[in-house]
Every structure is written in C-alpha cells, then in structure tokens.
Amino acid sequence: MAPPNEAKVLVCDKWLRACCWYGEFMCDDAVQAGLKVLTVGDLRKLDREHEDYWADGKLIEIYGDASREFHT
C-alpha cells in the first residue's frame, strides 16, 4: 500500500530523493549533501523516483522501523 500524502520521508537536500540518502543512487554531490524531510505529497509532485522508496517496507529495511520520526 502506498504511503499517504502527509507521511514524512528523509531525503538528500541536493536532489530531494530518498534513494540518494539510502546510498542506492549516489551522485557527485553526495559527499556534501545534507538531509531534508519532505512529505510524500511533495515527492509525488516532484516525480523524481518510484514510490517504493517511500513505502513502509523500505523504511523498515533502512531504519529498522517505519515510524517516520526522523531526528536530523
């Protein structure tokens, strides 16, 4: 099931993609990149990556849970 629009996702602040932050598709800016929290709705509007990167299953794989309470 797709996450709701208000669900939060941690992304890289250079390209605003979760896959970058997860280390799956890193670019030359990755070393200097910071973090940003966006909503799923914002990411859907940007349309830069597949929604699978924001699903609970992916968050559990990366963080061990899907709480979406990021402490940056």
Quote the pLDDT of residue 26. Answer: 80
Spatial CB neighbours of 9, under 8 Å, sequence gap ≥ 6: 3, 18, 37, 38, 39, 40, 43, 53, 54, 68
d(CA 57, CA 72): 21
Between the CA of residue 1 and those of 16, 20, 59, what are the distances in Å?
A: 22, 22, 13
Quote the pLDDT of residue 20. Answer: 82
Residue type, 16: L
Quote the pLDDT of residue 5. Answer: 93
Predicted TM-score of the model (pTM): 0.82
Q: What is the mean pLDDT of each run of 10 residues along the chain (72 residues)?
A: 87 89 80 90 95 90 86 62
Quote the pLDDT of residue 28. Answer: 84
Domain ranges of the chain: 8-63
